[in-house]
Structure 1
Amino acid sequence: MNHYYFTLNISYQQFLSHYSGAASSVLVTTDQGLRIQLPASRFRPYLSQIGIKGRFRLTTDQNNKFVKLETL
C-alpha cells in the first residue's frame, strides 16, 4: 500500500464546476511534491457548504490503483 498526504482547499462553487462536468478531475500536490489527478467524485463525501477543506490521505495499492481517500 502507498500513502499520499495532501491539504485541499476548494470553495463550494469551485467544486461544483468540477463535479458538474466542467472539469471532472481534481489535481492535488502531495506533501512530497508529487502531482496526482483524482476524479472529482472521490471528494463528494467531503463536500460541505464551505467546500472541501482539510488534510487527506490517499491510499493506493502496489499498482497505484485507488483504494481509499480519508480525512485526517
Structure 2
Amino acid sequence: MAKIVVEVTLSASQYQTLYSGQAKNVVAYSLDGRKVQLPLSAFRRFVTHGGIDGIFDVEFDDKHKLVAITRIR
C-alpha cells in the first residue's frame, strides 16, 4: 500500500460551499509536492465548527483506490 501525507485547510464556509454540491473532491498537495485529488466525503469525520484543518496520512491500495485517511496533526 502507498501512503502520502497531505495538509488540508478549508474554512467552514469553504467546506459548506463544497459540500452543498458544487464540488465532490478536494485537491491537495502532499508534503513532498505531489498533487492528489481526494473525495470530500472522506473528510466528513474531521469537520469542526471551523472547517477542516490538519495534516493527514492517506493510504491507497495497489490500484490507487483510497483505503484510509488518518489525522496525524
Task: Give TM class, smaller chain.
Answer: over 0.9
Name the residue aligned to 1:7. Answer: 7
How far did 1:26 drift? 0.4
Q: TM-score if structure 2 supplies the norm length? A: 0.93
Taking the aligned partners of 1:44 and 1:20, their CA distance within structure 2 comes to 13
Between the aligned residues of both structures, percent identity stands at 31
Tell me the secondary structure at the aligned position of residue 21 of structure 1.
helix
Runs of 4+ off more than 6 Å: none
Aligned residue pairs: how many?
A: 72
- Give the RMSD, CA atoms, in angstroms: 0.8
Separation in 1 of the partners of 2:23 and 2:53?
19
> Which structure 2 segments of 5+ residues have no match?
none
Question: What TM-score, normalized to structure 1?
Answer: 0.94
